[in-house]
Amino acid sequence: MAGTAGGRRLAYGAMAILALAPRCWLLDFESGDYRGYLSPWYDYFVEHGRWKSLGDDFSNYYVPYLVLLSFSTLLPLPKLYAIKLISILFDYVAAWLVGRLVWHRYQNQFLSLAGFTAVLFWPTVLMNSALWGQCDIIYTSALLVVFLSVLQRRPWMALAAFGLAVSFKPQAVFFLPFLAGLFLCGLLPWRLLWVPLAVYAACGLPAILAGKSVLAVLGHWLWQENLPHLTAGAVNVYQWLPAEPRTPLAWLGIGLAAIASGGLIVVLKRNWETEDRDQRLAAAALLSVLLLPFFMPGMHERYFFPADLFALVYAFFVPRRWFLAMWVVTASALSYLPFLFGVEPVPRSMLSAVMAAALGVVARDLVLAVAHPVFAPVRHGL
């Protein structure tokens, strides 16, 4: 047994080290977001004090990421590397979490290692963290904790992780239709509704202690300006619509998002104590993080990042749907290129069609699994 455990650790360590190679190759790239936002924020901490700066208004991010950025200024690394290291570390956290999810599904060490490895080499994981320097991997890791905790019937942990996810990025609310359905069907107890709110408030304490007003801290995401565009590069429904009239089209998208989310919640109001419970939940989680960025206005291309990883999880939970993961991550990765490199090898309207097709397939899977389990495309095993 000891030898087997040692072999597993060696395999995980080898994959982790091997995954450093593409990250090192990408590290020197400077994105527009790095030059316009991350680098100046880093400099602000250095120039105005790592603690005192938390009480100032110089960033549009909430406190937890700024705390990590403040700590990164202490690292003996070039600024670009120190900033990217924050997200790269969470690449490994997300990889471990997906490995745990696969283990929960199969209790198979080889498949768990495959999930761990797949995340580390997943195209948008590499591009988002090591290339772009974005931190979408952090809140997505928290959403993976939410999902794992739901599967393990640990509602406290699930809701605390959701509060942490929202503290890092407001896009974590893409998980709300999934969570709302779980509350309504009883998998999450209403008496714990305060937990994510308490975690979010606790995450703001460093800024409050540094001198920022409680209202400014706790209402941080409310004070941020909405984007003036129907789409900011996201491969969603707005790639097929004209840019004007903006307001009616934006409300149309919001209405479609509400209707689709309501439909998901209704489907989730079913008895989940069935043999294929985990597969259904995986479909519902993926559908939740696909629906809102597809229909909501003002979405960036990287707002599909949680869908990229939950599509991978779904591929492990439902092996016959492996192609969904390929569709989603390919559409996402190609949508990054116009912003990062100024090239558009595939029209974004076509990528939106791919994303819509993925959304349609997983929605069909969930509806059939709930309404007619005998027709569900999932069976245990590979």
Is residue 258 exposed (0-12), middle (13-18) or buried (19+ Cβ within 10 Å)? middle
pLDDT of residue 381: 35
**153 and 284 both lie in a single domain:** no
User: 306 and 248 in one domain?
Assistant: yes
Q: Which one of 172, 195, 224 terminates a domain?
A: 224
Residues 130-176 have pLDDT tens digits of: 999 999 999 999 999 999 999 999 999 999 999 999 999 999 999 99
| pLDDT tens digits, one per residue of 16-71 | 999 999 999 999 999 999 999 999 999 999 999 999 999 999 999 999 999 999 99
Number of structural domains the chain divides into: 2
Q: What is the DSSP letter of 189?
A: -
Report, as ranges of residue numbers, the positions in the chain whose pLDDT lies below 50: 1-2, 374-382
Shared domain check, 347 and 213: no
Residues 151 and 78: beta-carbon distance below 8 Å: no
pLDDT of residue 378: 44
282 and 308 housed in the same domain? yes
Asked if 178 contacts 285 with a C-beta cutoff of 8 angstroms, the reply is yes
Beta bridge partners of 181: none
Mean pLDDT of the chain: 91
Global pTM?
A: 0.94
Q: Write down which residue in 224, 248, 273 finishes a domain.
A: 224
Is residue 106 within 8 Å of 157, Cβ to Cβ? no
Residue 63 and residue 81 share a domain: yes
Do residues 162 and 278 share a domain? no
pLDDT for 268 equals 79
Q: Do both 6 and 152 map to the same domain? A: yes
Domain membership of residue 205 as a residue range: 1-224
Domain shared by 100 and 160, yes or no: yes
**Domain identity same for 145 and 229:** no
Q: Does residue 73 share a domain with residue 33? A: yes
Cα gap 290→78, rounded to integer Å: 36
Question: Across the chain, which distance is largest between two alpha carbons, in Å?
Answer: 66
Q: Within this chain, do residues 182 and 230 fall inside the same structural domain, yes or no?
A: no
Domain boundary among 167, 195, 224: 224
Are 11 and 113 in contact by the 8 Å Cβ rule? The answer is: yes
pLDDT value of residue 373? 52
Residues 47 and 64 in one domain: yes
